[in-house]
Amino acid sequence: MGELSFLYLTLLPLVVVAALAEGLWLARTRTEAYDWKAWACSLADLAGRRVLGFIPYAFAAPWLDWVWQHRLFTQSLDSVGPVVLLFIGLEFFYYWYHRTAHTSRWFWASHSVHHSPNQFNLAAAYRLGWFGRFTGTSLFFTPLVLLGFTPTVVLTALFLNLLYQFWIHADWIPKLGWLEYVLNTPSSHRVHHARNPEYLDANFGGVLIVFDRLFGTYVEEKKEVPCDFGVISPVISSHNSFVVDFGPWIGLAKDLASVRSPREVWMYLFAPPGWRPNGEGLTTAEIKKRAGLVPEEPKLSPA
C-alpha cells in the first residue's frame, strides 16, 4: 500500500490548500458568510481518517487478499486494454456502491457524513467519514480483484476517482455544455448533494455520469429549483467531527434497541434511510410522495 500512502501525502496537502483558497475567495466575494466552522470540521474529519488509515486493509477488509489469492486472471497495466477495463469497471462498481450508500442505512450511516455540510464547497469534498473502510465498502470492488487487479491497484484507482470528484464540489462552476452528457460535473454533483425532494437519490457516478443515464438515476439541475444542501433527518448542525461521525451510528443503535422482530432488525440495518415500522418514516420514496412528485395509485372502486 506504499503507492497509496505516497499519493495521500503528496496530493492531500494540495487539496486542503485549494479548499482554503476557495474559502478565502468566497468569504470576500459573497454576502452569505462562509462557514469556517464547517471547514474546520471537514479538516478534522480528514485528520481522523488519516489516523485510522494506519490500520491496515488486511485487518479492515481481509477478503481482498483472499480474493486475490483466488483470482481468475492476472492483469498488467502496461497496455491499454486492462487500463480501460479498470477504469470502466471501477466506475461501474462505484456507481452501485454509491447508489447503495444512499439506499441502505448501514452504508448511509457512514456516507451521510459526506452530505452533512449545509454549504457546498471544496472543503466538503474531503469530509468522507471515518468508518467507511470498516463497513464493507470494499466488497463492491472485489470483482476487480477477482478479475486480476491487485488490491493496491484497485484502492489506488478508487483514490484517484475520489480525487477527480474534489473539483466538482463547487457551487460557482456553471454547467459545462456537452460534457454534462458524459462526465460527473459540478452541476450534476450539486443535484446529488441537494436535499430538495426533486433531487433526492440521483447522480451517483464518480468520473462518469453515463451509468446514471443508463440506469435512470440522472436528474438535471434546474434554475427554478435551487439546490438546498445537507441531510434531511436528523439535520446535523454540529461542527464537532465526533458528533458528525458517530451520530448516525448512535441513531442506528437506538433504533435497533427498540426492535420487536428479526425483520425490524434487518430493515433498520439495510432498508432505505428513514424507514420506520409504521410506514411513516422519511424515506426518499415517502418524501417524494408527500411532495406530490409520485403519482397517487388509483383507488379501485367496488364492483
List, for residues 282-298, the tens digit of each pLDDT value. 999 999 999 999 766 55
Do 151 and 245 share a domain, yes or no? no
Residue 239 has pLDDT above 70, yes or no: yes
Sequence-separated contacts (24+) of 57-63 with Cβ below 8 Å: 57/1, 57/133, 57/138, 57/151, 57/155, 60/133, 60/134, 60/138, 61/133, 61/136, 61/138, 61/139, 63/138, 63/139, 63/142
Do 107 and 248 share a domain, yes or no? no
- Give the pLDDT of residue 237: 72
Residue 69 has pLDDT above 90, yes or no: yes
Do 248 and 141 share a domain, yes or no? no
Do 277 and 149 share a domain, yes or no? no
Q: How many residues does the chain have?
A: 303
Residue 301 has pLDDT above 60, yes or no: no
- Of 150, 171, 192, the domain-final residue: 171
Residue 3 has pLDDT above 70, yes or no: no
Q: For residue 158, tell me if it sits in a domain.
A: yes
pLDDT band of residue 74 (cuts 50, 70, 90) is very high
Q: For residue 181, tell me if it sits in a domain.
A: no
Mean pLDDT of 93-106: 98
- Give the pLDDT of residue 303: 47
Longest CA pairwise span in the chain (Å)? 72
What is the distance between the alpha carbons of residues 60 and 185, in angstroms, rounded to a whole number? 32
- Give the pLDDT of residue 206: 98
pLDDT band of residue 257 (cuts 50, 70, 90) is very high
- Give the pLDDT of residue 302: 53
Do residues 133 and 57 make contact, with C-beta atoms less than 8 angstroms apart?
A: yes
What is the distance between the alpha carbons of residues 204 and 212, in angstroms, rounded to a whole number? 7
The residue segments making up the domain with residue 247 are 241-290
Mean pLDDT of 190-206: 98
Do 138 and 23 share a domain, yes or no? yes
Min mean pLDDT across 4-13, 71-80, 272-281 is at: 4-13
- Of 151, 171, 191, the domain-final residue: 171
Which cell goes with 31?
454576502
pTM of the complete model beyond 0.75: yes
- Of 147, 171, 195, the domain-final residue: 171
Which cell goes with 237?
448542525
The set of residues, in sequence order, having a beta carbon less than 8 Å from that of 218 and lying 6+ positions away, is: 188, 202, 203, 209, 212
- Give the pLDDT of residue 36: 97
Mean pLDDT of 139-162: 96
Do 133 and 36 share a domain, yes or no? yes
The count of structural domains within the chain is 2
Min mean pLDDT across 113-117, 183-187, 293-297 is at: 293-297
Residue 108 has pLDDT above 50, yes or no: yes
Q: For residue 196, tell me if it sits in a domain.
A: no
Helix (H, G, I), strand (E, B) or coil at 208: strand
Do 164 and 270 share a domain, yes or no? no
Q: For residue 298, tell me if it sits in a domain.
A: no
Do 52 and 147 share a domain, yes or no? yes
Beta bridge partners of 128: none
Do 126 and 6 share a domain, yes or no? yes
Q: For residue 190, tell me if it sits in a domain.
A: no
Mean pLDDT of 199-213: 98
Q: For residue 14, tell me if it sits in a domain.
A: yes
Q: For residue 9, tell me if it sits in a domain.
A: yes
**Mean of the per-residue pLDDT values of the chain:** 93
Share of the chain above pLDDT 70, in %: 94
Do 144 and 245 share a domain, yes or no? no
Do 36 and 145 share a domain, yes or no? yes
Residue 212 has pLDDT above 70, yes or no: yes
